[in-house]
C-alpha cells in the first residue's frame, strides 16, 4: 500500500460522551490531512451536537454515521448520550450500547472500512471487525503517562506477533492502544510545564476579605498579554506552544505509520 497515494477509510466509534467524542474528532481531523477518510460513528443525539464542528474544510473527508441503540423504556433516544443523562441511567446507557452490536455489524457491512478505531466500551468492536477481516485499534483517552507506556508496549507486542508465524492470528483480537497529544486538549502536566518554563504565573493580590479583585486580575492579564513588559513571556509561550505542536505532529506521524502497516498486513 502506497501511503502517499492510497486513501484509507477509518470507522471511529467513541464512547457516548463528549469528553471521548472530542478527542476522536480531533484525531479524525489530523488523519484527514494525511489521506484518510473518516466515518465518525455515534448516536444521532451526539452527532447533532457536533455537526457544526465539521466545517467545510472537513466535509468531504469526515462523515458522520449514526448508530442506533435498542429502544429501552427508561432510555429514550435523547438520553443516548452522557450529556444531561441522569446518574441513575448510566448503567442503562452502557447496557444499551452493548446491545447495539447488530447496528454496528450492518454499518461495517455497508461501509467496509479499512480500519476500526474504537473506545474502551462497548466490548464487541474488535470481534465484529475481525469477522470482516478488519483490524481494530483501541484509542485510549485517559492518563497521558498510561498512554505512553501502553503505546510502546502494545505496538512492540503487535510487531512481534505479526512476525511470529506461530503466534495467534491477528483476527483473534490483536488490537493495540496508542497515545496522541492534542493541542486543544492540553492536560495538567503540559499546563504545569507551560507555567514552569514560560514563567507566566503572577500572583493576584487579595483584598481584606480574601477575595481576588477583578481590577487586579485584569492588570495582571494586561501585563502578560498586552503590555510591552510581558513580551518576553509571550515569546516564550509561543515558542513552547510550537514545540508542543511539533511534538504532537511527530506522534501522529508515528501512529499513522503503524496504522498503514496494520492495514497493509490485512
Determine whether 60 is an active site residue: no
Same-domain status, 208 and 125: no
Number of domains in the chain: 2
Which CATH number fits the domain that encloses residue 73?
Answer: 3.40.50.2000
Q: Which of 80, 114, 119, 147 is catalytic?
A: 119
pLDDT reported for residue 200: 65
CB 181 within 8 A of CB 151: no
Looking at the structure, do residues 48 and 21 belong to the same domain, yes or no? yes
Q: Do 195 and 156 share a domain, yes or no? A: no
- What single string gives the DSSP state of each residue in 174-193? ---EE----GGG--HHHHHH
The reply to whether 79 and 147 lie within a common domain is yes
pLDDT at 123: 95
Distance CA 137, CA 119 (A): 9
Q: For residue 3, is it within any domain?
A: no
pLDDT for res 198 = 53
Looking at the fold, whether 226 and 98 belong to one and the same domain comes out as no
Q: Do both 99 and 217 map to the same domain?
A: no
Which of helix, strand or coil describes residue 42? strand
Per-residue pLDDT of the chain (266 residues; tens, 9 = 90+): 444 457 899 999 999 999 999 989 989 998 999 889 999 999 999 999 999 999 999 999 999 999 999 989 999 999 999 999 999 999 999 999 999 999 999 999 999 999 999 999 999 999 999 999 999 988 877 544 444 434 333 434 444 444 443 433 333 346 444 555 444 444 444 444 545 455 565 555 666 777 766 777 777 777 777 777 778 877 887 887 788 778 778 878 888 888 888 887 77
| 2 part of a folded domain | no
Q: Do 117 and 156 belong to one domain?
A: yes
Q: Give the count of beta carbons closer than 10 Å to the beta carbon of residue 47.
A: 18
Residue 37 annotated to the active site: no
Tell me which residue range forms the domain holding 236: 188-241
**In this predicted structure, what is the pLDDT of residue 164?**
46
Domain shared by 93 and 129, yes or no: yes
Are 155 and 135 a contacting pair, CB within 8 Å?
A: no
In terms of domains, do 192 and 129 share one? Answer: no
Q: Please give the model's pTM, rounded to 2 decimal places.
A: 0.71
Same domain, 113 and 197: no
Mark 234-264 as b/e (b = at least 16 C-beta within 10 Å): eeebeebeeebeeebeebbeebbebbbbbbe
Do 170 and 212 share a structural domain? no
* H-run or E-run covering 12: strand 8-13
Kindly state the DSSP code that residue 142 receives in the 8-state scheme: S
pLDDT confidence of residue 86:
95
d(CA 27, CA 38): 10
Query: 20, 37, 80, 118: which one is catalytic?
Result: 20
Amino acid at each position: 500500500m502506497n501511503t502517499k497515494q492510497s486513501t484509507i477509510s477509518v470507522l471511529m466509534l467513541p464512547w457516548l460522551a463528549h469528553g471521548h467524542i472530542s478527542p476522536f474528532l480531533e484525531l479524525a481531523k489530523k488523519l484527514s490531512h494525511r489521506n484518510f477518510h473518516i466515518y465518525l460513528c455515534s448516536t444521532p443525539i451526539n452527532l447533532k451536537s457536533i455537526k457544526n464542528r465539521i466545517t467545510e474544510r472537513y466535509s468531504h473527508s469526515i462523515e458522520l454515521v449514526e448508530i442506533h441503540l435498542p429502544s429501552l423504556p427508561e432510555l429514550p433516544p435523547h438520553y443516548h448520550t452522557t450529556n444531561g443523562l441522569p446518574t441513575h441511567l448510566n448503567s442503562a446507557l452502557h447496557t444499551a450500547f452493548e446491545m447495539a452490536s447488530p447496528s454496528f455489524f450492518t454499518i461495517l457491512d455497508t461501509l467496509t472500512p479499512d480500519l476500526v478505531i474504537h473506545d474502551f466500551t462497548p466490548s464487541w468492536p474488535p470481534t465484529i471487525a475481525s469477522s470482516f477481516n478488519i483490524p481494530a485499534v483501541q484509542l485510549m483517552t485517559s492518563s497521558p503517562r498510561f498512554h505512553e507506556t501502553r503505546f510502546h508496549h502494545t505496538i512492540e507486542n503487535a510487531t512481534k506477533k505479526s512476525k511470529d508465524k506461530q503466534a495467534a492470528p491477528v483476527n483473534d483480537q490483536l488490537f493495540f492502544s496508542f497515545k496522541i497529544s492534542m493541542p486543544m486538549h492540553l492536560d495538567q502536566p503540559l499546563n504545569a510545564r507551560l507555567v514552569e518554563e514560560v514563567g507566566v504565573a503572577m500572583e493576584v493580590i487579595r483584598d481584606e476579605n480574601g477575595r481576588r479583585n477583578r481590577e487586579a486580575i485584569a492588570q495582571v492579564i494586561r501585563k502578560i498579554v498586552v503590555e510591552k513588559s510581558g513580551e518576553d513571556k509571550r515569546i516564550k509561550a509561543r515558542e513552547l506552544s510550537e514545540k508542543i505542536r511539533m511534538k504532537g505532529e511527530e506522534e501522529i506521524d508515528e501512529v499513522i505509520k503503524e496504522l498503514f502497516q496494520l492495514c497493509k498486513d490485512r
